[in-house]
Amino acid sequence: MLRRFLMCINWVNSNPRSLTQLRKWRDKISESLLYDQEFRQEIEAVSKGIGERIERLTSDIPRAEIREEDTLLWGDPGFHNLLVSETEDSVNVSGVLDFESAMYGNRMFEMRRARGNVQRRKPPEVYGDPELIVQFEAGYCETGPVLKEIGEVERAVYDVLFEAAGVRWWWDNLGVLHRKTPDTLERIENTLEKLKRVAEG
């Protein structure tokens, strides 16, 4: 079942068209954290000067460029969005649901979300098994493009965008900041510092 789930994700990701996301990470960070003045005031209230520090860090990072093409993302990959048919011998996926969060972007966003959906399931002794991740990636690669190893630059950019998206989700959907927003903003700043060092080194 896990392998078929990942085959579905890869099928969705097979569209090669491109539109922003990881390659235009500077714009995405600014759109998420800096351009909305009301939101920026709110995060400044819990982390004084964070806006200026993020602006400085993103402009100071010289060569952190992402070359991988973006693709169509499912947006909400999870077992809860699969239709399945089961026999004594097998489980087959008959449908994929819920594309309201579909977007174009880097496939690593999809993989991180899917992996999280799997590892949060119970019982933890089953879904927390390291071998499960091996099966997880094998199921994805069985259908199409093989996941490539990402470097420190790509991972840092990806982590910053993922954290920024989490901060914005609470604000955009509930009109509040999560109580752990200060910690998240600190991680974003620390990761941008690391990205600067990697890009300069």
**Against a cut of 0.75, is the pTM above it?**
no
pLDDT band at 24 (very low <50, low <70, confident <90, very high): confident
What is the rounded distance in angstroms from the CA atom of residue 99 to the CA atom of residue 24?
Answer: 23
Mean residue pLDDT across the chain: 80
pLDDT at 152 over 90: no
Share of the chain above pLDDT 90, in %: 23
Cβ–Cβ under 8 Å, residues 118 and 3: no
The DSSP-derived string for 46-112 is HSTTHHHHHHHHHHH--S----SPPEEE-SS-SGGGEEEEE-SS-EEEEEE---TT-EEE-HHHHHH
Mean pLDDT to the nearest integer, 85-104: 83
Q: Give the amino acid at 175.
A: G
What is the rounded distance in angstroms from the CA atom of residue 23 to the CA atom of residue 70?
Answer: 8
Task: Write out the CATH class of domain 2-200.
Answer: alpha beta
Question: So what's the pLDDT on residue 162?
Answer: 81
pLDDT at 133 over 80: no
Question: So what's the pLDDT on residue 21?
Answer: 47
> Over the stretch 67-90, which tens digit does the pLDDT of each residue have?
667 788 888 888 888 898 888 888
